[in-house]
Structures are given as structure tokens and as C-alpha cells.
Amino acid sequence: MKPLNLITGETVGILLFFIGLYGLMTKKTIVKTIMSMSIMQAGIYLFYITINYSPDTVPPIGQSREAAFADPVPSALMITAIVIGIGVTAIGLTMFMHYKQQHGITHWSRNRNQQGSEH
């Protein structure tokens, strides 16, 4: 298998997912945690919308069938997942702002006075 054939949407999606997981495990800033979650979601979207893809298909619109249809199922699933991702990000950011204003917490840390961007 040639190296270029390895760079498909699925492999990049898997890598993005694990980059997001790495961010979730190591970063101590809450905003960076939320960003990592978004990166994981992006990986999942990319994986799903490129799964079962072959270049000689046409979009599944109409009944003409000049060629085989592309798979509409992952697209339909990802439409809902994208909106849910927006909702999750909005909830996370709002809760972060609440904690920031109420307790002054910006890091996942026992030390409340921790500031700065070294993490």
C-alpha cells in the first residue's frame, strides 16, 4: 500500500480523535479541554462522512441512478451530531464562564490561584 493511500478521511479522523484525547488527558486549562472535545468531535465527523466512500458514486438525490448512490446514512447521522456538538460546546463554555466568575477557577487544579498558560 502506497503511503498516499493511507491518508484518507478515516485515518485522519482517527488521528484527530486521539489528538483530542491527548488534549483531554494532559491540558489543565478548562477552555483547552472544551477545545479538545471539539477536536474529538471533528475527528468523529470526518471518520463518519468518509466511511464507505468510493469515488464513482453520485449523491443520493433523485431516482435517475446513472451510477451507484453514495451512502446517505452517515451523512444523515452526522447532521444531527454536528448540531449536538454545537450544543455541547455551548454548554461547556457557559459552565466555564459560570465557574470563572463564581470561583475564579480556570484550571483543573487544586491550586485556585493558578494562572497563566503554561499548561
Partner 1 sequence: MARQSNSYIHILRIVLAVVGAAVMLFVYLNHSEKLNTPLMDFFTDDFLAQTGADNAVAAIYLNYRVFDTLFEALMLMVSVMEVINVSWANKHSDRYQLEEDDMYYKNNSELVARMVGIVYPFVILLGLYIIANGHVSPGGGFQGGAILATALISRYLVYPNFDLDLHIIEKMEKILFLFIVLTPVLYVFMQIQPDNTVISHQVYMVFMNTLIGLKVFFGLSIIFYRFVFYEGADNTFIDR
| Binding stretches for partner 1 (CB under 8 A) | 1, 6, 10-11, 14-15, 17-19, 21-22, 25-26, 52, 59-63, 69, 71-73, 75-77, 79-80, 82-84, 86-88, 90-91, 93-95, 97-98, 100-102
Give me the least distance between CB of 66 and partner 1, in Å please: 14
Give me the least distance between CB of 62 and partner 1, in Å please: 5
Packing angle between helix 30-50 and helix 72-103, nearest 10 degrees?
Answer: 180
How far apart (Å, rounded) are the C-alpha atoms in residues 51 and 81? 15
How far apart (Å, rounded) are the C-alpha atoms in residues 24 and 95? 17
How far apart (Å, rounded) are the C-alpha atoms in residues 91 and 96? 9
Give me the least distance between CB of 86 and partner 1, in Å please: 7
How far apart (Å, rounded) are the C-alpha atoms in residues 27 and 118? 9
Of residues 72 and 108, the one with the C-beta less far from partner 1 = 72
